Amino acid sequence: MKPIRQLGVSFCDNRIQIAEVEQDKQPTVAILAEQDSSLDFSNEGASLSADHPKVSSTIEELASLFKQAGTSAEQISYALPTNPLFIHTFPVDPTLEDEELKEYLAWELQQYFPDAGPKDFITDAHVIPSKDKDARRTFMVGVRRGIVAFLQKVTAGLKMKLQIVDIDHFSSEKTFKANYPELKKENAVLFGVGKSGIDASVVKNHEMVDYRSYPNAAASLGSTMTQYLNHVKQLDDVQNVAGLYLHGNQVPSDTLTALSSETGIKTVSVDAFRKLIAAGSVDKTLAAESHRFAAAIGLALRAS
């Protein structure tokens, strides 16, 4: 039986990045590729729709990249930057269930988007592990339906099947977990660094227990990392941090040692091939910068 291949596409810093993972006895990254994009997803994402004028150009750019890379996947998944999305963590009454919980989450969303109706966003939420018994810390994501409609139209134009729409930082968590299994019983902090800002999360026992976003903070990475670590110290359920792991296009590899000295914690870029296998055909230059493809790789792994 022919192994199944899954394709992850990440829109990051005016670039399209792809990773194709072949699922056999062991996951193998078969393709890494990237190219410039005419679509600035971070700034244009909120205005996207099935009728957006960049549907055609996005189809053309993806089709060209797929042909050049030689992808054979029939299914496609997308990782999106956080800027055009609604991401929020807040306490929720633990007695709320089912419809009451849905109504409360809809109410919470409308506090930020008063003119938005229930049909304007697709939402998802999950409870974050916490010692607080009086309120469930809940992580909520809202994606505009226009963005999903845009991606559905692009996918149809490519004659492929849409599988997953995810957030790039959380797709990167999948890559991190696959490559650092020894941290399953440790606390680690993951930083996503892009032109439009920084995402930060605590991964405890391989599960996210905290998240914050810092828009337009990439130029002050060191101070932003320190700011987040000071926040982490206040969390009741996080003690020692075993390491800081960075991913994204704007990771300053030449200053990781300095950042480690500044924070006092081991600081490295995510190595996507520390445990995963890279096929011999994978571009060696791109593989050496695997932290930049953490979102696309993690998305393809998640779709498998």
Residue 35's H or E segment, with its range, is strand 28-36
Q: Which residue has the tokens 């960049």?
A: 54
Distance from C-alpha of 209 to C-alpha of 123, rounded to nearest angstrom: 19
Q: CB pairs under 8 A, 24+ apart, for 196-199?
A: 196/13, 196/42, 196/43, 196/81, 196/83, 197/82, 197/83, 198/224, 199/82, 199/168, 199/169
Residue 70 CB-density burial (10 A; 0-12 exposed, 13-18 middle, 19+ buried): exposed
Give strand ranges (E) for 37-160: 75-80, 86-92, 121-127, 136-144
What does the pLDDT read at residue 93?
86
Helix then strand then coil, % of the chain, to nearest 5: 35, 30, 30
Q: Nearest CA to 45 among 130, 145, 116? A: 145
Structure tokens at 207: 């599960």
pLDDT of residue 216: 78
The CA-atom distances, in angstroms, between 89 and each of 81, 209, 280 are: 17, 10, 42
In this structure, what token pair is assigned to residue 260? 């480690």
Residue 166, both tokens: 């995810």
**How far apart are alpha carbons 88 and 139 in whole angstroms?**
6
For residue 1, what pLDDT is reported?
A: 58
Sign (positive or negative) of CA dihedral 253, 259, 260, 263: negative
Query: What contacts 185, CB < 8 A, 6 or more positions away?
Result: 205
pLDDT in tens, the chain (304 residues): 577 889 999 998 889 999 999 987 788 999 999 999 999 998 899 999 999 999 999 999 999 999 999 998 999 999 999 988 999 888 888 888 888 888 888 888 888 888 877 688 988 888 887 666 667 888 889 999 999 999 999 999 999 999 999 999 999 999 999 999 999 988 899 999 998 899 999 998 888 888 999 987 777 888 999 999 999 888 777 778 889 999 999 998 888 988 898 888 999 999 999 999 999 999 999 999 999 999 999 999 987 7
pTM: 0.92
